[in-house]
Amino acid sequence: MRNSNPYAYLMHMKDAAEAVIAYATANDFEHFETDNWDQAAAIRNLEIIGEAATNISSEFRKEHDTIPRQDIIDFRNVAIHDYMEVDTNIIWDIIKNDIPPLIEQLNVLLEKNDN
């Protein structure tokens, strides 16, 4: 049964995003580009972020529109369905430029839930 609590999905997104950052922090792009395990782990966690984003209700999304949900879902679809086309430069760019602000946005929403 699908969980109706949007904060559970936000927490899944945050956990996966933090895991992705851990891969990037431990390595540089040259390592990432040649390490299939790190690539697979990063892509899998990006897929989890996208899957969790798809499960957040439209009502919650309307009230909290700070997360670029459609971009996240679009990437997830490419990663799953067009996995042969996933470019490590794009993945690295997402990790370095998109994931840190996403974590900040998720933290804000999760803190609102704690209060």
64 is catalytic: no
Alpha-carbon distance of 54 to 70, in angstroms, equals 9
Rg over CA atoms, the chain: 14
81 is catalytic: yes
How many residues are listed for the chain in this entry? Answer: 115
Q: Which of 12, 44, 64, 81 is catalytic?
A: 81
Query: Tell me, what DSSP letter sits at residue 84?
Result: G
Whether the Cβ atoms of residue 96 and residue 21 lie closer than 8 Å to each other = no
Alpha-carbon distance of 103 to 77, in angstroms, equals 21
Structure tokens at 36: 């299939």
AA letter at 95: I
Q: Which of 61, 64, 69, 76 is catalytic?
A: 76
Q: Tell me which residues are annotated as active site.
A: 76, 81
